[in-house]
Copies of this chain bind each other. A is one copy, B any other.
Amino acid sequence: MSGPRPSSEAAFIDTLRVFAHHPAARGLLDDAAVLEVGPVTLVLTHDMLVEGVHFLPAQSPADVAWKLVAANLSDLAAKGADPLGVLLGYMLGEDDLDFQAGLIEVLEHYGVPLLGGDTVSGGPPQALGLTAIGRATYCPVPSRSGARPGQGLWLTGAVGAAMLGYEASRDGTGGDAEAFLRPMARLGEGIALAPFVTAMMDVSDGLLLDAWRMAEASEVSLAIDGAAVPIAAPEERRLDALRWGDDYELLFTLPRGVDPPVPATRIGAVEPRGFAPLFLDGEPLANRDGLGWEH
């Protein structure tokens, strides 16, 4: 179960985890559930967005629809899954036609069918849910927990574009607002990478925070070379870019000597579990507070 984690939420999930012992649930620790049905391996994910928490009332409903779909498809990308369709839980809002236009646009962009769902009244705040279902293209399906010492840590693309995009959409500054408002799910990259990676996840909440989570799930330490991380922001914003989420790049580990089949950058290494799960330029980051945006 991804998303923000205030203490009550963490407690809720921790209790559920004890109950969610089906292997498909992956202890509720992964980006998605992985369910074997006969010869088919399914990947399933569900995200909710709430007005005032995950998006602002002033935000364009079409952009909200885009992000809702893209964020879920990004979870499938992290599993190397090919999307089969989505189900939408839609609470009617201020401009349903604009939401619908954005929904159709993003689903057509990714070639993913709308399979069904539910439409309700209620709110404000408007609450939206999306379930995405995909078919794994490679088994075993990548998880967060497979990173092993000696392997390399890699990242597709760059981080920081969504940060600038957010600032542009808020302040009208020079960044590309689309990078924040209409993120791209790396579905093709995920499918290409799945046969090679030892661990993979999408970077939705900030590179450092998500790397921390991968380190914890894999019971290793990850050592990141901060200067090696490609950033789509001015150099003086490098540290901010490492902490910002919403870029939806893929973070993954590869055995030594294996090159990724898609453009990506080696940003660090997997080490035996040390003093902290995460090291940035040799400095241990012992506390996850402030590593990312728990938004």
Contacts and interface: CB of A to CB of B under 8 A. Distances in A.
Interface in A112-135: 113-123, 125, 127, 129, 131, 133, 135
A286 interface: no
B45 A116 contact: yes
A22 B116 CA distance: 10
In this complex, the interface size class of chain A, counting residues with CB under 8 Å from chain B, is 35 or more
A285 B161 CA distance: 59
Contact of A39 (B1, B4, B6, B38): B38
A28 interface: yes
Contacts of A19: 104, 107, 114
This chain: how many copies in the complex?
A: 2
A127 B32 contact: no
Given A22-B85, A38-B40, A16 B120 contact: no
B47 A118 contact: yes
A88 interface: yes
A37 B127 contact: no
A16 to B, nearest CB: 6
A113 B20 contact: yes
Interface stretch (A49-57, A194-202, A230-238, A255-263): A49-57
Interface in A96-153: 96-97, 100, 103-104, 107, 113-123, 125, 127, 129, 131, 133, 135
Given A24-B113, A46-B116, A122-B127, 6 more contacts: A9-B92, A22-B85, A44-B85, A45-B87, A46-B117, A122-B125
Interface of A: 1-4, 6, 8-9, 11-13, 15-16, 19-22, 24-26, 28, 30, 32-33, 35, 37-40, 42, 44-54, 84-85, 87-92, 96-97, 100, 103-104, 107, 113-123, 125, 127, 129, 131, 133, 135
29 contacts: A1-B116, A1-B118, A1-B119, A6-B121, A12-B100, A16-B100, A19-B114, A20-B115, A20-B116, A22-B85, A22-B114, A22-B115, A24-B113, A25-B85, A25-B114, A28-B116, A33-B115, A35-B85, A37-B42, A37-B135, A38-B39, A44-B116, A44-B131, A44-B133, A45-B116, A47-B89, A47-B118, A48-B129, A50-B122
